[in-house]
Chain A
Amino acid sequence: MTGFRTLLRKEVLRFRKVAVQTVAAPVLTALLYLLVFSQALADHVQPFPGVPYVAFLVPGLVMMSVLQNAFANASSSLIQSKVTGNLVFVLLPPLSPLELFGAYVLAAVARGLMVGLGVFAVTAFFVPPAFAAPAWILVFAVLGSAILGTMGLIGGIWAEKFDQIAMFQNFLIMPATFLAGVFYSVHALPPFWQSVSHLNPFFYMVDGFRYGFFGHSDVPPTVSLAIVLATLALAAGVALRMLGTGWRIRH
């Protein structure tokens, strides 16, 4: 347990030591989205009855920040360690695949939640927050960041260079989060794009998270929870298998 706790602590220290870049910067980015989109769209869109667009947008932005930063934390830590060679410091000690997995993913969850909390705190100045079902907020934030942390771990193990991680991030993670209904309700889309959105697991993370604020969502939160849990189980299975065989890290 000490080994796992130490690695978790190291991973949290790593992003806290550069918090301006890892926490403050994404909060600022989210704030810019809020200002721009709320100005541009506030008068044209009302996704849920009785919920103004800006209020609707805030949980989406919070969740997008949570997800992207959870991914960035695990993936950048791993790729940095691989490129600089100091990954050897965690490969030599008697750490099990499960301990490695747990430490990297929980640190990613911690970063995701910290950034999410920051975005939420800043946006609360503009929009009074609603808390229809707060337990769901926490459940989806934790599970969503765990999934993205796991994907970051997988990406970090797979990639051998920084630009491969950037590719993973720009061509997979960014589009999937943007098209997950962060900025709009998928009900506003044409039927074809609605069904496409329903194939995107990120959609359920955002939708379930938003349910916690408004008690209103595109699909029932229990359905989202089931899909999110299944996604996490699948991703965790892949990551643990990779760590167990030592693919690309013990070669």
Chain B
Amino acid sequence: MTPAIDVRSVHKRYGDFEALRGVSLEIAQGEFFGLLGPNGAGKTSLIAIVAGLNRASTGSVRVMGHDVVADYRAARRALGVVPQELVFDPFFTVRETLRLTSGYYGLARNDPWIDEILHHLDLTSKADANMRALSGGMKRRVLVAQALVHRPPVIVLDEPTAGVDVELRQTLWAFVRRLNREGHTIVLTTHYLEEAQELCGRIAMLKQGRVVALERTADLLGRFGGGTVTLRLSRAPLPEGLRPLQAGEPLPDGRIALRLEDWQGLEPVLARLREAGCHVDEMELAHTDLEDVFLRVMAGGH
């Protein structure tokens, strides 16, 4: 089957700065795919190239088999993008905005579908409000609606929940999950790693313009098995021998987190603490989550 998005050796240079250094990845149809990375890793550059908002210096991108430069009309028709910035046109109401966007995609009569999107995004009561009068969260919903007016098979959401309240997040994810179940391919970038862990079947991590991890979410979490044990100690400091396990600096409340490759490692840690005369006041165990994986991948440890 044709990949939903096929990125091949994409480089993007701005003068001397190289935002993307040979990115290749294939996203299959029907996937819920996460694109993660710190600020400046190249996520937004990559999405801009996929969306035709920017051009690769070298390399190629296809959306549903259509090259985004040579066959841009078909590629753009297949793609819906929710941009990261909260942009809007202050001249129009919500419904006018969605009708105009429909028209740009060649759809003259689209009101039944517009009504359905408005309903699912809880926007029906705002349909005739001017864009200026909407709150940030509502404007965000309109951006999502605009990305869906032409029923694109592939939907890209670039940090759609940045600065958005819990209610909208839940409305939004319920709707996006439904779209995914109905066969839409979803590509998501987010800073909320628990969101990505919960939603995405597969994840790519970008660092300084390169793909540093590309795996199923479950495999990625499994590869870094075990978890962290967070301790509050008294009477004696953490023994020297356990220092290498320490994950980052001590927490602000004085607790210390130790990374364990697997849970078999817990018993020896406790034994070392006992030998050193440490008293464990408090202990908390946590499975590896995407945030640990992310931090470790970004730190260069595979």
Question: Using a CB–CB distance below 8 Å, which chain A residues touch chain B?
Answer: 2-3, 5-7, 9-10, 13-14, 17-18, 81, 84-86, 88-96, 246, 250-251
Cα-based distance from A6 to B51 in the complex (angstroms): 21
CB of B103 within 8 A of CB of A92, answer no
- In the bound complex, CA of A90 to CA of B76 (Å): 11
Stretch at the interface among B77-85, B174-182, B236-244, B291-299: B77-85
Q: Is the interface of A mostly helix, strand, loop or mixed?
A: helix
- Bound-state Cα–Cα, A86 to B53, Å: 12
Q: Give the B interface residue count (CB, 8 A).
A: 31
CA distance A5 to B102 in the complex (A): 12
- A85–B103 CB distance below 8 A: no
Can you add 4 more A-B contacts, CB < 8 Å, to A89-B87, A94-B106? A3-B105, A7-B104, A93-B101, A93-B104
| Residue B17 lies at the interface, judged by CB distance under 8 Å to chain A | no
- The complex places the Cα of A13 from the Cα of B92 at a distance, in Å, of 9
* Residues of B in contact with A (beta carbons under 8 Å apart): 51-55, 72-74, 76-77, 79, 81, 83, 85, 87-92, 100-108, 146, 150
Q: Which residues of A contact B51 (CB under 8 A)?
A: 92
Q: Which of A3, A17, A92, A95 is within 8 Å of B91, CB to CB?
A: A17
**Smallest CB-CB separation from B131: which chain A residue?**
A86
Beyond A94-B72, A246-B55, whether A3 also contacts B88 by CB under 8 A is no
Q: Which of B81, B83, B92, B106 sits near A3, CB closer than 8 Å?
A: B106
In contact, B77 and A94 (Cβ under 8 angstroms): yes
What are 12 contact pairs spanning A and B, CB under 8 A?
Answer: A3-B105, A6-B102, A10-B100, A17-B91, A84-B90, A86-B89, A88-B83, A89-B104, A90-B104, A92-B52, A92-B79, A94-B77
Question: Which residue among A3, A17, A91, A93 has the maximum number of chain B CB atoms within 10 Å of its CB?
Answer: A93
Choose from B74, B79, B87, B104 the contact partner of A95 (Cβ within 8 Å): B104
